Structure 1
Amino acid sequence: MKNRFGIALSAIAAITLAGCAANSPSGPSATAKLEPTRGNVTAGTVNFVQAGDVVKVSGTISGLKPGAEHGFHVHEKGDCSSGDGMSTGGHFNPGGKPHGSHGVGEHHAGDLPSLKADASGKASFSFDSRTIRVGSTANDIVGKGLIVHRDPDDYKTQPTGNAGPRVACAVITAK
């Protein structure tokens, strides 16, 4: 009896682990280590994992204005050398689309959902994107810039969303 019980537990454990492995993304991945721009304190890490035609985006960013929304975009150049984030250029937009809301109608490939900071100024997030890619196609974000803005994105003002100054900058690198 004890032996059958042990074998059954082992089988259940193996099935559970196999199921977990099948559900965890295992495609190409990239990361961005956000550093504050001059005069700011915003920092964090963002991970990107390609899973079929979806990129799973997740991360935690701190040093944001508590309780506020902040624009969040992939920018065209992987260059944070200017100190104010402006060296990253404009939003990543290989398709020549108008600026808009992530996942709704036409928008830049680099238009991501705004970050929502909690009462302590921290934003933890996880979302899927069907417009960016990791490591392939014209929408590949590896080598591009990632920017957090001071203000919320209005999703209307062209071409930036009126999201204000850049408070954190990173270069997206392949893992």
Structure 2
Amino acid sequence: MTIRALLTAAVLTAASPVLAQDAAAPAPAPAATPPAAPPKVAPAKGEEARAKVKDAQGKDVGEVIFEQTKHGVLIKGQLENLPAGQHAFHIHETGKCDAPDFKTAGGHFNPTKKAHGILSPKGKHVGDLPNLYVDKDGKVTFDTFSQNGLTVKSLFDKDGSAVVIHVKEDDYHSDPTGDAGGRIACGVVEK
């Protein structure tokens, strides 16, 4: 053997226990895969109420849905056939919607006897809601949330309640109506 071959044999002989040990060692475990996220489960629906909204001519405008949650009331709706622009949207104190002016719905739902408007230092009515922004096609879809004491159950006091859409936008401070003008659509809240 040549010196080169002898050196190679010596190195391999010295390394063979280490190589054999590596071969016998278990392969490293693959990186742990994070556990799969639990499937999303929608919370159980709370008590619901609905208002079918009509304009002064009795034409369907859409529907507003009230859903009770443990944190307040989710209010959502899809409306159409409304004039484009900004319109005040309130819950009124009486479940009656006699056209054409809808005055039978009474004033704003206000069991706590506060002043009108979120910008009023003495406000707001429980029935005060954000303005609706109706697109030029006359349609609006919205979701809003009320946490100021409104409950679905409270909508069904002895004379019920209604939702009303006004001619103008709510300025959020003028008492008692936010300078919202006349009423152009109304819907009685029902179960």
With the shorter chain as reference, the TM-score category is: 0.7 to 0.9
Greater RCO structure (CA 8 Å; 6+ sep)? 1
Q: Distance in 2 between matches of 1:81 and 1:167?
A: 11
For residues 173 and 20 of structure 1, do their structure 2 counterparts lie closer, same or farther at Cα, with a shift above 3 Å needed? same
So what's the TM-score if we normalise by structure 2? 0.72
State which of 79, 87, 106 in structure 2 corresponds to 1:61: 79
List structure 1 runs of 4+ shifted beyond 6 angstroms: none
- Name structure 2 gaps, 5 residues minimum: 1-35
1:141 matched to which residue of 2?
Answer: 155
39, 47, 53: which one aligns with 1:34: 53
Partner SS, residue 125 of structure 2 = coil
Contact 1:101–1:113 (CA under 8 A) maintained in structure 2: no
Q: Distance in 2 between matches of 1:150 and 1:134?
A: 26
In the alignment, which of 42, 45, 63 is matched to residue 21 of structure 1?
Answer: 42
Match of 1:99 in 2: 116
Report Cα offsets for 1:4-42 as digits up to 9, x if no partner: xxxxxxxx79x42xx2323xx51111001001124x867
Alpha-carbon RMSD across the aligned residues, in angstroms, is: 2.4
Quote the residue 1:49 is aligned against: 67
Contact persistence 1:99–1:108 (CA under 8 A) = yes
- The alignment of Structure 1 onto Structure 2 pairs a total of residues equal to 153
Report percent identity of matched pairs: 37
Structure 1, unmatched stretches of 5+, are 1-11
Letter in 1 for 2:128: D
Q: Distance in 1 between matches of 2:179 and 2:123?
A: 17
Asked whether the equivalents of residues 70 and 152 of structure 1 are also in contact (C-alpha less than 8 Å), the reply is yes
